[in-house]
Each structure stands twice: as C-alpha cells, then as structure tokens.
Structure 1
C-alpha cells in the first residue's frame, strides 16, 4: 500500500468508483443516524431537544477534526506513502461505533448515560477518514477532468438523497439493531472495495504528480473555508425552505417533489461533470450558484405543485454543477501534498454552518431562510471566482 503507480489515463474510473462506495456508505449511515436519533434518545428518557444539542456539538467538533485529520493524512502520505491505513482505521472505528449505538439501547436505562457518548463518538470517528478518503480524488484525474470524476460522487449522493424520503418508513420499520447493522456492514464493505481497487494509483498528469512540491499558499485557506460555509448553509436553508414552500402550496405529498429534486441531481451529475470539463470548473460552479440564487427567489413565490416540480428540477441541475466542483475547487487551492488539509478545511466550513443552523435554523421564517440562503450562495460564488490558486 505504500507505493504509488502512475497511470497514463485521464480518469481512473475504477478508483473513482471505490471512492463512490465510500461516499455512499457515508451518506447511508447519516440517513440512518438522522432517522433514528430522536427515537433512540426518547427511548432512554432523554428530551428531544438533546438531539439538536448533539448535532450542534458534533458539527462544532467536526469543524476542528476535519482539517486536523486531513492534515494528519497528509503527513501519513509523506512519511508512509499512503493515506489508506488512516482511512481503513477510521472506517473500522466508525463501523464499530455505529454498531454500538443500538447496543446501548438494548442495554436499557442502566447504560443511558452512554448514549450521548456513543453518538458523538461515532460522528467523530467519521471525521477520521472522510477528508483523507475524498482527498484521494485528486490522484485519479487530470485537474481539468476532476469535476467529471467528482460527478460520480454527486450521483451517489443524489441517489441516497432520493432514497431517504421514500425509504424512511422502511428503514424505521427495520428497527435500530437491523438498520444500524446494515450501515455497519456497508461501511466495512466500502473500506474493502476501496482497498481492492488499489487506492494509491495516480494519473500521470494529476495534481498530485504535477504539483506535489508546489509551495503552500496559506492565504488560500480562508477562501476554501468560507466556500464550505457558503455552500453548506445555502443548501441546508434552501432545501429546508423548499420543502416547507412545497407544503404551503397544498400539495399533499411534498416528499415526492423532494425525490424529484434528488433524482434530478443523480441524473444530471454526469452531464454536468462533462460540461464543467469543457467550460472550466469555476465557470460551471458560478453558473450553478446563479441558478441556485434564482431558484431561491422563485421558491418565495411558488403557488402550485407544477411550479414546484420545475423549480425542483432547476435546483437539482444547479446543485450538480456546484457539488461536482467543490472538491476539485478545494484541491486546486492547495498543493497536492496538502490535499487532506484543503479537503478538510472545506468540510470544516460546512460543519460550522451546519452547527450554527442546527441551533437556530428551525426558528428562521421562510423568507429570512431563503434570503440567507441566497446571500450564502453569493458569498460562495464570490470566493470561487475571486481567489485563484
């Protein structure tokens, strides 16, 4: 695992699919976690407000851990020649912590105080491997082709997002032990898949092989962080508000329109990745941000389910343009030797935004939420366009 093999292809699709398996495992476990969080706490006699507090704490700690773990993986890459040992350790630890959550419930009230510890421990274990794993994307494609490679990860996220509204009753019907067992197995299988595709392979003209010894531009880091803040806060508030706006039209199944949105993300991810390769990543991201800002404005005025479907499709396409570009953007702002740090800082910005919004987002009105979402997208677009690596 300690040697890197240069390969003369533009995109290493097999390795990208390995990362997609990891992304899918991350998304699935978070879906299960969020579906069961309130029920698990209530089953042990905790108040529902503890769930909000835990999300704030987990994301605040994640904001510190993501760049720390990413930077640590950079050191592992330098000294050992591979990030995979840290990734494997993190995924195994996450799987064990995830399986431990329903076991605490089975222990009953005698283990009650362990539940918050188990929940936070799992969330922190996830930070051990997420930034190191996703920073590997920079190895697997020419820099100009990174959005196309990232589109596979976006597609997986879209499929998971579409699954969540329609499969939530099924997942809850499984019971916590079965659902968390499935999540545990998926995490371990994803680690095995990534191991089997030889994650140390590198495209000959990838950012890693071309700019590994480039000097670090420390002034770039705040821009990466603020882009993460803007994207995460904008998407969180827009999706939250869009669902509420759909319900306000009187449509009886708002979940179905959210499914349309995420199916659009999944279907448009690959074409949007190809478009970004032709236009340039920053240009494609800018168009995506403009589309999201326009969709935010239209959401304020939706009057029917038909309009909501059109807006959902527009959001899905714009979402893909932005999501395909975020990791390539973060990787472009740091030398390849600091890929973990750059990826971690982007996720750190997102964690800060989610931590704040977990505490206050539910208290914002529809108009205020959409206004903040539009401003957040504008800030992120400004960061992407204004600061060149």
Structure 2
C-alpha cells in the first residue's frame, strides 16, 4: 500500500470534514436569523440529509460497477466536488436574501456533496489491503480531524470577522483537494475488483439497491444488520450534539458564536491526536472490541458535561468553559475509539467486490440518523432543558453498545461454524 496515496485520499476526507464540520456547527446559527426553535432548526438540518441518505448508498454501489477512462470513482468527484465548493461559498450570500434562497442554495450544495461522498471514501479500501485498513482509516480520520480542527478553530475565528470569509476559504480548499485527488489516485487501484455476486444475491445495481436491503433481515445477515443498526443509533447522539452544540453553548451558557465553535474544536482536536493510535489499537485488539470500549466511555463524558458549570465552582482554578473544553478533549479520544474502527468494520463485511456497496450501507445507516437526530435532540432541548442534548446522546451510545456486541457475536459464531464445517 502507498502511504502517499493514502494521505492524498485523506486530503479528500480533510476537505469533506472541514466543510461538514463548519456547516453543522454554524448552519443552525445562520438559520437562527429566521427561526427561533431549536427543534425546527434541527429538523431542517435533518431534512437536508434526506437527499443524501436516499442517494449515497446507490451512488456507492454505482461506483462499484462504473467503468470509464478515469476509473470508477473519479467521475463522481469530477462532478460533485467543484459544484459543492461553489455552492458552499454561496450559503452566506443566500442568507442575506431570504430563507428560501438560503434553502435552495443549501439543497444544491448537499446534492453535490452526496454525489462524491461515498466514492471518495471508497478510494481508501480500493488502495489498501484488508489487514491494513484500520491503520489506513486512522490516517484518513487523522486528516479528517485536521479538517475539523481548522473548521472549528481557524474558520470560527474568520466567522467572527465576517460570515462570508470561512465559506470562501473552505470552498477553495475543497477545490484544491479535488485537484490533488484527480492527479494522484490510481485509475485502476490494486484492491478493487469488478462487482460480483459473492453475497448470496445482493445486487449492487441502482434499481435493486433498496430491494437488496431486505436481504439484511435474513438469518445469514443478522449480524450485519445489528452492526449497522448500532451505527445508526450512536450517530443519533453524535449528529445531534454536532448540530446542536453551538445552540447549547450560545443560548444556555451565553458564549459568543465564534467561541462556541472554538470550544467544540477541542473534541475534534483530541480525535485528531488519537485517530492514528486508535487505528493501531484496532489492528491489535480488533475493531469491534475497541468500538465497544468507546461506546461505554463516551456516554459517561456526555452525562458529566451538563454539570460543568456546577463542578467548576468547586474545582479551584477552573472555570466552566475550561472544564467543558477538558471534557470535550476526553470525549474526542473515545470517539476515535468508535469512529476510526466503524467504517473498516463495515467495509470488511462485504469483501473486495462489495466495497462500494457496503460503503453506501455505512453512509445510509450513519446519515439516516442525521435526518432525525438534530430535530429529536432539539425537541428534548425545547421540551425539557438544553442539557438534555447530552443526556439523550448518552442514551444512544449505550443502546448502540448492546447492538454492536450482539452483532459481533453473531458474526463470530457464523465464522467459527463455517470454519468447522
């Protein structure tokens, strides 16, 4: 495997996470210019992802089958990345006109992101042997985490100067990452094979993708379904916190908008620092066991976060903001335990011939949660109080722990049975 190419692929994920992190942190505040309710703002953020959920799995499967002069993944990047960059730049200008103009620009931006998201992620396993994918995904997540840090530290500072500046900067970086990918990645990568029928009739063609989901209910794929459902459940907690944290910080803690994004950056900072070690730990201990550790520890951090203002009163030399930043640093470590392992675990379920298909499934289940998560956790904030953002998120990780453990046990028993027979 070429580490140079993995780092270049990581640049694609860097730009992806730079844009998504800033979008998720600040789009709710931009919507706040027009809408007061956290639940309604969260609902709009969730509806934005509906298009992505419907199309990303199909596009991922389509990219397994497509054959062109520039390969099977790059055509989607050629279309999606430049358009996404342009319309991301236009978001703050749309907000200067009306809510409806903002929403139209937003939908076009999200559609463009949807076109290239699964193919750009599938480039990693295309260039990496299965036994090295946790390490490679650690590198990819490291690059993505750097993008998130720049979004929440650097772009947040620009946001405090002028709303348009961070959107322009992020759009240009997205264009630059596209050029690097186009020049560097293989047209015929060594670990990609033509799509086949190795999963008992699951088809990867676009018309049959949704029909093939029914296969996951069959006995043979019960473990797969448990794992994918666990990913769906814990992403409710993660996506909800990501989308609603700035609202919690600004409206409940009284932070400045730019400082709210800066504080959330500590979660991404520790994720970046621990992404590559988490990948190495996953290679040694196994992907599912490391994920289970994270699914136990991260909800404990979330449960403590609402008590940060009170705890700061009894801990000498620490104010509420600093304590919150420390807790987010700790939370980012445990998120690395979970997130670095998740995609390689799902990619391995399909073998070499179904990488794009299972990439699509991964994004179907992870992004489907983002349809309901911001609105659901926003509703908890509206009905109860803002701290219920973290209590609801913690519960989702606890439920996911039991689902992932069950799915892993089923798959392990099936592998042992097949080996014995």
Aligned counterparts, 1:140-159, within 5 A: 140-159=127-146
**Which whole-Å CA distance do the structure 2 matches of 1:343 and 1:379 have between them?**
23
Tell me the CA shift for residue 360 of structure 1.
Answer: 3.0
- Alignment partner for residue 355 of structure 1, among 348, 351, 371? 371
How many residues are treated as equivalent by the alignment?
370
Q: Which residue of 2 aligns with 1:119?
A: 106
- CA displacement at 1:130 relative to structure 2: 0.4
- Report the alpha carbon displacement of residue 76 of structure 1 after superposing the two structures with TM: 1.3
* 1:230 paired residue number: 233
Q: Determine the C-alpha separation between the residues in 2 that align with 1:95 and 1:297.
A: 37
Inter-partner Cα distance in structure 1 for 2:25 and 2:405: 37
Is 2:349 aligned against 1:333? yes
Question: What is the alpha-carbon distance in structure 2 between the residues aligned to residue 42 and residue 301 of structure 1?
Answer: 26
Select the residue among 173, 186, 189 that pairs with 2:161.
Answer: 173
Moved more, 377-386 or 248-257: 248-257
**Per-residue CA distance 1:235-267 (angstroms, 9 max, x = gap):** 235565799599989999776654433221111
- Give secondary structure in 1 for the equivalent of 2:280: helix
How far has the Cα of 1:58 moved from its partner? Answer: 1.0
- Relative to structure 1, the CA distance from residue 82 to residue 211 in structure 2 (aligned partners, 3 Å threshold; closer, same or farther) is closer
1:316 aligns with 2:332: yes
The residue that corresponds to 2:185 in the other structure is: 198
Provide the aligned C-alpha RMSD in A: 3.8
Q: Displacement of 1:338 after TM fit?
A: 2.6
- Scaled by the length of structure 2, the TM-score of the pair is 0.74
Instruction: Give the direction of change, closer, same or farther, for the CA distance of 1:210–1:114 in structure 2 (3 Å limit).
Output: closer
Deviations 1:189-222 (A, max 9, x none): 211111222234545xx5x469976325632464
How far apart in 1 are the matches of 2:249 and 2:81? 38
Counterpart of 2:56?
Answer: 66
Name the TM-score, length of structure 1 as normaliser: 0.79
Give the gaps of 5 or more residues in structure 2. 203-214, 313-317, 412-421
Cα deviation for residue 32 of structure 1 reads 4.7
Cα offsets for 1:266-290 (capped at 9, x unmatched): 1111111111111111121112212
Tell me what 2:199 maps to: 215
Q: Residue deviations 1:75-121, cap 9 Å, x none? A: 21599852211222121332343345456568x57xx7543222111
Residues 289 and 378, structure 1, Cα contact 8 Å, conserved in 2: yes
Q: Are residues 52 and 283 of structure 1, via their aligned partners in 2, closer, same or farther at CA, if it must alter by over 3 Å?
A: closer
Structure 2 equivalent of residue 342 of structure 1: 358
Contact between 1:233 and 1:376, CA under 8 Å: does it hold in 2?
yes
Conserved 8 A contact 1:330-1:343: yes
- Is the 8 Å Cα contact of residues 144 and 281 (structure 1) preserved in structure 2? no
Give the secondary-structure state (helix, strand or coil) at the position aligned to 1:387. helix
